[in-house]
């Protein structure tokens, strides 16, 4: 029954660069405008409990700013932030970056987002399609930056 109110998007990409370098790029928010085609800007610290101001601009769309709370930081393997709507239960979004060391020179990036709330049945298809495209675009840009 509760599955109706849960939605997830999961993407993966193998990056032929050590995990520490991928983490460095991922957490260097100041460099996002130079390489990131989806998350154009982040202001804030990579520290649990802090607030981030994130400017998202999907391909050929008008951008939007949202505020999210850093919920988990485990260098160099995990970064998670959460966005809740003003009215509890409507929509909560968990944005997760997980890095796995495949070898000394290879890293698996798992980039995912989980959505929870009563708005999911109305937004599921749109959330999954748009989020998947934007994540894949960002993942490819991160790989290109890390490998060159």
**Strand spans (E) along the chain:** 6-15, 39-43, 51-56, 64-74, 78-84, 92-103, 106-116
pTM summary value? 0.91
Q: What mean pLDDT do residues 38-57 have? A: 96
Residues 6-23 have pLDDT tens digits of 999 999 999 999 999 999
Angle at CA of residue 66, ends 112 and 25, nearest 5°? 50
Residues 70-94 have pLDDT tens digits of 999 999 999 999 998 888 889 999 9
Domain holding 28: CATH number?
3.30.530.20
- Burial of 87-97, coded b for 16+ CB within 10 Å and e otherwise, reads eeeebbbbbbb
How many domains does the chain divide into?
Answer: 1
Residue of 57, 70, 74 whose CA lies nearest to 23: 74
**What is the extent of the structural domain holding 59?**
2-147
Average pLDDT for the chain: 94
Q: How far apart are CA 43 and CA 74, in angstroms?
A: 19
pLDDT given at position 2: 61
Angle at CA of residue 103, ends 79 and 134, nearest 5°? 40
């Amino acid at each position: 029954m509760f599955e109706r109110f849960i939605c997830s998007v999961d993407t993966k990409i193998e990056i032929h660069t050590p995990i520490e370098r991928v983490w460095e790029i991922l957490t260097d928010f100041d460099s996002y405008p130079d390489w990131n085609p989806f998350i154009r800007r982040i202001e804030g610290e990579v520290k649990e409990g802090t607030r981030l101001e994130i400017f998202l601009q999907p391909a050929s769309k008008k951008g939007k700013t949202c505020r999210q709370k850093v919920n988990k930081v485990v260098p160099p393997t995990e970064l998670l932030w959460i966005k809740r709507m003003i009215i509890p239960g409507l929509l909560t979004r968990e944005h997760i970056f997980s890095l796995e060391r495949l070898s000394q020179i290879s890293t698996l990036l798992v980039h995912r987002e989980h959505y929870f709330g009563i708005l999911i049945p109305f937004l599921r298809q749109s959330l999954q399609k748009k989020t998947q495209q934007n994540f894949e675009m960002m993942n490819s840009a991160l790989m290109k930056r890390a490998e060159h």
